[in-house]
Amino acid sequence: MKPRDRLRIATQKSGRLSQPGRELLTRSGLSFRESRDRLFCFGETLPIDLLLVRDDDIPGLIAEGTCDLGFVGRNVLEELRLGELRAGRVPAFAELRALGFGQCRLSIALPQEQAWNGPQTLAGLRIATSYPNLLADWLEKNGVEAEVVTLSGSVEIAPRLGKAEAICDLVSSGATLAANQLREVAVIFESEAVLVGPSTAFVDERIALADLLLRRLDGVLKVRD
């Protein structure tokens, strides 16, 4: 790969991590010039640029070296990490810091009227999710045989559509579950925003830049708690 003298951070284009992520960078002394399409933001105070992408693409962008660092939910990172391990590969990305925002949990939910008697309640059912690896892992650990139905979005409506009897999705305020007459019955993974980076060391001028950024982030995160 060609040497680079600027650092590139991948962040979520729109969604609940995008605003707090930008605030964290601002408080770390970084400022950006927005491009017309708003997908690339040029770093003005430091040679650190932003790429605005879909959150699910962030670990892959880091693994392939297109971006150097990223802000992403631990849920996304762990789902992809499990996928890599299952495929017999060593993940090329790693969690570098917990960022203290974007707290949420990945939970199993059932239609409100349905009884819950522990994980075995799910035996033989279809469970809709966008996190098939995290769900399969949890089912295996709990000795439950169920069918995992993978959907990329709108998981909450799967029971009403007759596509599944249960769901496994992210819960933050719980408003989405309530609006869909679903009841959270088990938390399978706790998540928050994290800083992701390569599992190997940086090269060229990015070593010093990443070092500087991490020190600034640590300063801001320490002030916070």
Which of 49, 55, 78, 165 lies at the binding interface for Zn ion (CB under 5 A)?
55
- CB-hemisphere CA count at 13 Å for 109? 28
Task: Identify residue 144 by its one-letter amino acid code.
Answer: V
The minimum distance between CB 13 and Zn ion, in angstroms, equals 10
Q: Does 223 bind ligand PRP (CB under 6 A)?
A: no
Binding residues among 25-84 for ligand PRP as defined by CB under 6 A: 55
The minimum distance between CB 72 and Zn ion, in angstroms, equals 9
Measure the CA–CA gap between 101 and 191, rounded to whole angstroms.
10
CB atoms within 10 A of CB 31: 12
- Per-residue burial over 134-152, b if 16 or more Cβ lie within 10 Å, else e, is bbbbbbeeeebebebbebe
Smaller CB separation from ligand PRP, 11 or 28: 11
Smaller CB separation from ligand PRP, 121 or 129: 129
Smaller CB separation from ligand PRP, 56 or 84: 56
145 CB contacts (<8 Å, ≥6 apart)? Answer: 123, 124, 139
Q: Does 169 bind Zn ion (CB under 5 A)?
A: no
The minimum distance between CB 75 and Zn ion, in angstroms, equals 9
Measure the CA–CA gap between 169 and 151, rounded to whole angstroms.
10
Binding residues among 159-188 for ligand PRP as defined by CB under 6 A: 169-176
Angle between helix 132-141 and 74-86 (nearest 10): 70
Mark 78-117 with x for binding to ligand PRP (rule: CB under 6 A) and - for no binding. Answer: ----------------------------------------
Q: Does 15 bind ligand PRP (CB under 6 A)?
A: yes
In the chain, how many H helices and how many E strands? 7, 12
Token digits of residue 46: 């430091």
The minimum distance between CB 186 and ligand PRP, in angstroms, equals 15
> Which residues sit at the interface with ligand PRP, rule CB under 6 A?
15-16, 55, 153, 169-176
